[in-house]
Amino acid sequence: MSGFKDREKAAEAKFVHDEATKFKIEARRNKLLGQWAAEQLGITEASALEAYVGDVISSDFEEAGDEDVFRKVRGDFDAKNVAISDDDLRAKMRSLYAEVAQTFKTEK
């Protein structure tokens, strides 16, 4: 019975670690996405850039998944008539996630 409990605890610990890593990757991805989006929007002043990046990061806490972040950036692009398609925006989000995930692998 002890072996089962040990495996259960190990599985729980791995799950917690994996979720924490995923959260860190998404947060870093959102920071990079915010910086990229700010560039597309023409935000160059340092404090405005910092505030915008913070807004993008904060938008991820509205609901589970990436749709809240996507909607935030998409809405900002639409408001400023930035001609980037939904597919291109989603591709940028995926590529930034992969880039950050790769850095996590090399940091270990």
- Per the model's pLDDT, the better-predicted residue between 73 and 62 turns out to be 73
**Would you place residue 1 in the very low, low, confident or very high pLDDT band (cuts 50, 70, 90)?**
low
DSSP letter assigned to residue 83: -
CA distance 52 to 73: 10
Where do the domains of the chain lie?
2-107
Span 21-45, pLDDT tens digits: 888 999 999 999 999 999 999 999 9
DSSP letter assigned to residue 59: H
Residue 18 pLDDT greater than 80, yes or no: no
**CATH number belonging to the domain at 2-107, selected among 1.10.790.20, 3.30.565.10, 3.40.50.150, 3.40.640.10:** 1.10.790.20
CA distance 31 to 56: 7
